[in-house]
Structure 1
Amino acid sequence: MVALGNMVAAEPALQEKKGKKKDKKKREREDAEVVEAAPIVVETEEKKRKKKKNKNKEVDGGDEVVAEVEEEVVVEKTKKKKKQKSEGVSAPGSEKKASAVAAEVTGNEKLSVVVTGNGSQDPKFKKLENFNLEGVPATVLQCCQGFERPSPIQAHAWPFLLAGRDLIGIAATGSGKTLAFGIPAMKHVLDKVEKKKGQKAAPICLVLAPTRELAQQIADVLEESGGACGVGTVCVYGGTPKGPQRSALKAGARVVIATPGRLQDLMEEGVCSLDQVTYVVLDEADRMLDLGFEPAIRAILSTCAKVRQTVMFSATWPQAVSKLAMEFMNEDEPVKVMVGSQDLAANHDVTQIVEVIEDRARDARLETLLQKYHKSRTNRVLVFVLYKKEAVRVEAALQRRGWKVSAVHGDKGQADRTKAVNSFKDGTRPLLIATDVAARGLDIPDVEYVINYSFPLTTEDYVHRIGRTGRAGKKGLSHTFFTQTDRARAGELVNVLREAGQTVPEELLKFGTHVKKKESKLYGAHFKEIGADSGKAKKITFGDSDDE
């Protein structure tokens, strides 16, 4: 009896220890792929049936079941043109305040730029026409050599960021967002280092990214701009040994680029302290805030300096994350710079071809397209699939047919993923199969074609996928397979195609042009009058009632 009592007494401590171990393993998995969406407060019977039906499906990057309500959306190009005219779209070279809509020219395309927020009407924050940035060392700007002028997102964001303002930047993939926040970050770090001479070296800038590939990409860019002026950077992510990352942090890295899970582990070990971090960047902020990283981000930012500059960048900005994003900003109304359409929009430098096809015909059609787009077998072609097992199957099938192909997905170890990406970059294996873990992490300028073998779970991910081509002002082409099972996203895809002036196939229109409204994670889809960015839901606990 005494022994049994001791076992019962030790049970809570044992459970707590197991829980901590489980949480640590969970964070490691989050580094490799996007975690599942936060649970909805009210779960309908219909949703439960859907979950049961899709139980055995492995979606790389996380499964997300979203209850949606159909509502008609009519797209009229004439209406959009009238709106631009009423807002006073000006010709390039005309002087207007930063808050006005200005016309920017990139190649033959015109992009509207909208700047809003506190102080956006101040003329001192007018857009930059060149790379003469006051107070920024020439060594930091060496990475901009070869460009005639800043890209629109850089030209409008730099004045605010260099002035220490909180900012949300939204622009198409391949538009220079990394340097848009990276160069002000280096200037910020250099200024702080000058003031803290003699003090122990500690991180001053923190950049958070949702995937390992994106973290590595950001690190490459920031090392190029900061290395010349002696700013140490370290990239922290899961799936690799912690030893080298610990050593780099202890050596006094001033800039930390990290995925949330691994960073939390190193913080718990006491290796990384963020109390001197005064410049924080959330890259692909919509993905992290909308798909489950919120608790980790809150925990990490709570240890940073209270007075700091917070910056968020993304190519898409769903309404659902807007209010949540505001909670991390120091300013009540931070500056928001939006380049291009305020609606979901794709890169206009990418020609989009959508082909409605039978599921069983995709393999043969992929082979035909590769014979066309990858005829030389030396140009870079990126094929996106949805499931990890699908990536393995397609890779094996193409290898049997003699194609030089590799794959990147969540089931591969970090060393294998890095090897696959490097072989794609250097042209050893110029054909790459990838899941959505690479949709936002690959910045390879010479990707000529993107083929969507499977349509993604969201249209936002479609925009990011095709943005892997047509980068840095170059032209690209995407070819997308659209099947009967994807019909729920037909309306959104039609809108994206029309906004970019692309051809909409008649077969796609047969699925209808309805756009299913994304529900609030707090209130579901039944309360149309409550916005998707409404306040936090309150948890109500009902006690047992006594019959009277």
Structure 2
Amino acid sequence: MVALDNMVAANPAQQGKKAKKKEKKKREREDAEVAAEAAAPVATVVEMEVDVEKKKKKKKRNKVVEGAGEVVAVEAEEGVPEEKSKKKQKSEVGSVAKTSAVAAEVVANEKLSVVVTGSGSDNPKFKKQENFKLEGVPPTVLQCCQGFEKPSPIQGHAWPFLLAGRDLIGIAATGSGKTLAFGIPAMKHVLDKITKTKGKKAAPVCLVLAPTRELAQQIADVLEESGSACGVGVVCVYGGTPKGPQRSALKAGARVVVATPGRLQDLMEEGVCSLDQVTYVVLDEADRMLDLGFEPAIRAILSTCCQVRQTVMFSATWPMAVSKLAMEFMNEKDPVKVMVGSQDLAANHDVTQIVEVIEDRARDARLETLLQKYHKSRTNRVLVFVLYKKEAVRVETALQRRGWKVSAVHGDKGQSDRTRAVNSFKDGTRPLLIATDVAARGLDIPDVEYVINYSFPLTTEDYVHRIGRTGRAGKKGLSHTFFTQADRARAGELVNVLREAGQTVPEELLKFGTHVKKKESKLYGAHFKEIGADSGKAKKITFGDSDDE
């Protein structure tokens, strides 16, 4: 046996085969590690407990950001210096550095990823404040911020990362200032790019994609205020209107394009719009943008943009289903995820939510009663949401016959009629508006006191966006929702939203059950059937032998 072992050891061919096998296994292990690292989540949420063995390799620190009340959990590599000053920092008016000290520290090290969480209740207060400043950003860009007492939490935490050029996913409640959160860094980015490419043909540098025309117009209005002050052209591209003015604006050298995917693709195919110089891309209401209907268009559009770019996604809701898809559009391996508020589906806490379980045929009479209560003066703004276009027409016609000053916004109306309806709602000519979900994410009108959900939406995410049309910018609002037997599949999610916001959960709603669907296929639907709390007992059926055989 010893002689045989010596022969094998002395055989160089056998040794070479063993070495190759070891090398092959080593490469396979390395490839598996690289694949696992590539499939890692967008960002890392750090747990408070630290393994004893991991303490030797990594340090974890937890810091409280004064002013907004958010807790920032950071995972840091060994050797990253701790912040020297341990004193509490008092929030100062207009100071971004004070409200996002930890965020600025994380930006300095690209290996770090961060998740910011907090109550999200500290919305901006619109008091006169003329010295609103942000380090490195020209005063002309900040012209639209004058009047802010201080930045909102999502703005204060997102700005340092975006100004540092990081890819970012921003999640915050409706009405918390997300448009300026990505808009201010966008204008700064455009000005820097114009300076570097002076003399070249003017072309779009920033692209903002939105799912609806109303939202695209809303974003463009906000960005135009800053763009006009610093000399940056902004064009809004959406369907339902003539292409001529949009073509002219693009040919004139607009640097910022705010668009819905369909019309933008049309203009690109015509050769009017080229996006090869776009280095700053925003997907607003990203969860809706990455829905099955928008995904192919987004892929086609982004494939024509500059591959070395900064990609930003913002939304008030972030379902797990879109997380993996979102990573495909991010250029950086580990983009930053800034989240203000609950990680779960959550509504704006400034909105009082009333849910009424009701029979379907009783809704019309109940709506009339609620309007007598909430719209008694007939001058305050009330927004009524319905589910279908035909339903919007029917409700609008019925209310008009009863003497209410009402208009409607839905997909069957032309864009000019939709714009006219929204404008009449804004100026108070017709302070009662009936709308489908085309207005759930894009309507930003101050002083909407009440939102009535005549029909419950198809998803609870849309419910959160609907009621977010009131209670904006720190103001209080109220929503009143009709919930029928046909909506029972979404009862569990709605109960969770109500409980998270500290709202009253009606007993009638609990009778539908509190189950929440965990797995659902776009092709085959849910993997199990929801069973309510009031369901009857299962009935046993016995199949006997047939006498016909």
TM-score (norm 1): 0.74
Q: Structure 2: 5+ residue runs without aligned partners?
A: none
**Structure 2 SS opposite 1:81:** coil
**Alpha-carbon deviation of 1:225?**
1.3
Secondary structure of the equivalent of 1:273? coil
Would you say the 8 A contact 1:490–1:508 is kept in 2?
A: yes
**1:207 and 1:280 in contact (8 A); partners too:** yes
Distance (whole Å) between structure 2 residues aligned to residue 428 and residue 10 of structure 1 = 98
* Distance in 2 of aligned mates of 1:237 and 1:29: 50
Question: Is 1:473 matched with 2:478?
Answer: no
Q: More deviation in 401-410 or 17-26?
A: 17-26
Deviation at 1:199, TM superposition (A): 1.0
- Residue in structure 1 matched with residue 24 of structure 2 by the alignment: 24
Higher relative contact order (CA 8 A, sep 6+): 1
Matching residue of 1:376:
377
SS of the equivalent of 2:329 reads coil
The alpha-carbon deviation at position 335 of structure 1 amounts to 0.2
1:144-203 deviations in Å (ceiling 9; x for gaps): 122111000000000000011000000011000000000000000001111111111100
Superposition deviation, residue 134 in structure 1: 1.7
| 2:383 and 2:435 in contact (8 A); partners too | yes
Bigger Cα Rg: 2
**Are the aligned partners of 2:66 and 2:88 in contact in 1 as well (CA < 8 Å)?**
no
Judged with a 3 Å threshold, the aligned counterparts in structure 2 of structure 1 residues 106 and 65 are, in CA distance, closer, same or farther, namely closer
> Match of 1:185, SS?
helix
- Residue 82 (structure 2) aligns with: 77
CA contact (8 A) 2:278 2:305 kept: yes
Larger mean Cα displacement after TM superposition, 483-492 or 527-536? 527-536
TM-aligned CA deviation for residue 12 of structure 1: 65
8 Å CA contact retained: 1:72, 1:513: no
How far apart are 1:137 and its partner, in Å?
1.2
Residue-by-residue CA offset, 1:421-472 (whole Å, 9 max, x unaligned)? 0000000000000000110010002100000000000000000000000001
Distance change >3 Å, CA 64–CA 5, structure 1 → 2: farther
SS at match of 1:503: coil
Taking a change above 3 Å as real, the CA distance of residues 308 and 33 of structure 1, as seen in their structure-2 partners, is: same
Local SS of the residue matching 1:479: strand
Q: Distance in 1 between matches of 2:529 and 2:464?
A: 26
Structure 2-normalised TM-score? 0.74
State the SS of the aligned residue for 1:480. strand
Alignment of 1:122-521 (within 5 A): 131-521=132-522
- Higher mean C-alpha deviation, range 74-83 or range 317-326: 74-83
Give me the whole-angstrom Cα distance separating, in 2, the residues matched to 1:351 and 1:12.
Answer: 80
Change (3 A) 1:544 1:184: farther
Quickly say closer, same or farther: Cα 1:467–1:19, change in 2 above 3 A: farther
Aligned-pair CA distance for 1:112: 17
Structure 1 residues 542 and 168, CA, compared in 2 at 3 Å: closer, same or farther?
farther
Q: Deviations over 1:205-243 (max 9, x none)?
A: 000000100000000000011111110000000111000
In 1, the alpha carbon distance for the partners of 2:497 and 2:132 equals 33
Distance 1:142 1:48, change over 3 A: closer
Q: Percent identity?
A: 90
Partner Cα distance (2:163, 2:239) in 1? 32
Tell me the distance in 2 between the aligned counterparts of 1:66 and 1:439.
Answer: 31
Distance, in Å, in 2 between the alignment partners of 1:376 and 1:320 is: 44
| Contact 1:234-1:255 at 8 Å conserved across structures | yes
CA contact (8 A) 1:127 1:155 kept: no
- CA deviation map 1:502-534 (0-9, x unaligned): 001111111111112241437865499999999
1:65 lines up with 2:67 in the alignment = no
Q: Is the 8 A contact 2:493 2:514 kept in 1?
A: yes
The C-alpha deviation readout for 1:85-109, integer Å capped at 9, x for no partner, is 999xxxxx99999999999999999
Q: Is the 8 A contact 1:408 1:432 kept in 2?
A: yes
Question: Does the CA-based 8 Å contact 1:131-1:150 persist in structure 2?
Answer: no
Task: Name the stretch that deviates more: 138-147 or 269-278.
Answer: 138-147
Q: Does structure 2 retain, via aligned residues, the 8 Å contact 1:407–1:420?
A: yes
Q: Gapped runs of 5+ residues in structure 1?
A: 88-92
CA offset digits 1:74-130 (Å, max 9, x no partner)? 99999999999999xxxxx99999999999999999999943999999999999999
Partner Cα distance (1:407, 1:30) in 2: 60
Cα distance per residue 1:15-41 (max 9 Å; x no partner): 99999999999999999999x999999
CA distance in 2, matches of 1:426, 1:135: 38
Deviations along 1:330-355, one digit per CA (max 9) or x if unpaired, are 11110000110000000000000001
Distance 1:105 1:274, change over 3 A: closer
**Contact (CA 8 Å) 1:406, 1:433: kept in 2 or not?**
yes
Residue 294 of structure 1 deviates from its aligned partner by 0.7
Q: Post-superposition shift, 1:308?
A: 0.4
RMSD: 18.6
Per the alignment, do residues 217 and 124 of structure 1 end up closer, same or farther by CA in structure 2, a change over 3 Å counting? closer
Query: CA, structure 1 residues 514+57, in 2 after alignment: closer, same or farther (shift >3 Å)?
Result: farther
Looking at structure 1, the residues matched to 385 and 155 of structure 2 have their Cα atoms a distance apart, in angstroms, of 29
How far apart, in 2, do the equivalents of 1:2 and 1:243 lie?
A: 91
CA 1:215–1:422 in 2, change beyond 3 Å: closer, same or farther?
same
Which segment drifts farther, 451-460 or 194-203?
Answer: 194-203
Residue by residue over 1:280-322, the C-alpha shift from the partner in whole angstroms, topping out at 9 and shown as x without a partner, is 0000010010231111101100111110000000000000000
In the alignment, the residues of structure 2 paired with residue 14 and residue 416 of structure 1 have an alpha-carbon distance, to the nearest angstrom, of 83
Residue 424 of structure 1 aligns to a residue whose secondary structure is: helix
> For the Cα contact (< 8 Å) 1:32–1:239, is it kept in 2?
no
* 8 Å Cα contact 1:60-1:437 kept in structure 2: no
Give the distance between the partners of 1:124 and 1:64, measured in 2 at CA.
18
Cα distance in 1 between the residues matched to 2:13 and 2:539: 30
Q: Are 1:129 and 1:149, in contact at CA under 8 Å, matched by a contact in 2? A: no
